């Protein structure tokens, strides 16, 4: 143990780096241990690590913020797309409904026009039928009138009765035959002469 102490003293004595100071001078000297010295050497490295960690953390924060913004933008884009699709679907549905209503109106108009045409056709056919009936009645009246006129003419005209021209006077009761007396006498004479 004593030998080690002596060797240490000898070591200190042999060293050229030793400096001797008075008590007053020694008070101004900062004695730094090996641990403190090593800590002072590691301080810049720790500051570098801390700065890198802060930068990494800031980078992560920025990346997270950008990712959040991208997610929000994508969400907004999808919302706008869904809104646009919904508006397009609503517009398409309204157009389809308007088209169906227009087609229904056109169909009703066509049906109404068809009914009017059919009604006009029926009216025309009925009018023609009534006209034909009226013409038939008129023809029947004319035929009846002609028959009456012919009968009157026959009843009131001059006819041959027994080979003699006889004036016929038409009456409702019977036909009266008026003959000339001389003609009747002459007729009888001729008959008698032929018999002789």
How far is 151 from 172, CA to CA, in rounded Å?
11
Of 190, 170, 188, 187, nearest to 178 by C-alpha is 170
Q: Whole-structure pTM over 0.85, yes or no?
A: no
What are the residue boundaries of the structural domains of the chain, listed by start? 157-196
Q: Note down pLDDT in tens along the chain; length 196 residues.
A: 444 444 444 444 444 444 545 555 544 545 544 444 444 455 566 777 778 888 888 899 999 999 999 999 999 999 999 999 999 999 999 999 999 999 999 999 999 999 999 999 999 999 999 989 988 999 999 999 988 888 777 666 656 666 666 665 555 444 445 556 666 677 777 777 776 6
């Amino acid at each position: 143990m004593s030998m080690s102490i002596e060797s240490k003293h000898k070591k200190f004595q042999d060293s050229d780096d030793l400096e001797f100071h008075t008590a007053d001078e020694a008070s101004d000297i900062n004695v730094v241990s090996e641990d403190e010295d090593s800590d002072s050497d590691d301080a810049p490295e720790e500051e570098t690590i801390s700065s890198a960690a802060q930068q990494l953390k800031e980078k992560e924060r920025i990346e997270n913020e950008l990712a959040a913004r991208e997610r929000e933008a994508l969400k907004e884009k999808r919302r706008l797309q869904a809104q646009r699709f919904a508006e397009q679907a609503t517009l398409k549905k309204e157009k389809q409904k308007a088209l169906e209503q227009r087609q229904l109106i056109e169909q009703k108009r066509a049906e109404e026009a068809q009914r009017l045409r059919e009604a006009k056709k029926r009216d025309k056919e009925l009018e023609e039928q009534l006209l034909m009936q009226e013409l038939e009645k008129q023809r029947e009246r004319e035929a009846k009138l002609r028959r009456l006129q012919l009968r009157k003419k026959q009843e009131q005209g001059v006819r041959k009765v027994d080979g003699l021209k006889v004036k016929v006077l038409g009456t409702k009761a019977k036909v009266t035959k008026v003959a000339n007396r001389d003609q009747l006498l002459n007729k009888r004479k001729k008959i008698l002469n032929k018999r002789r």
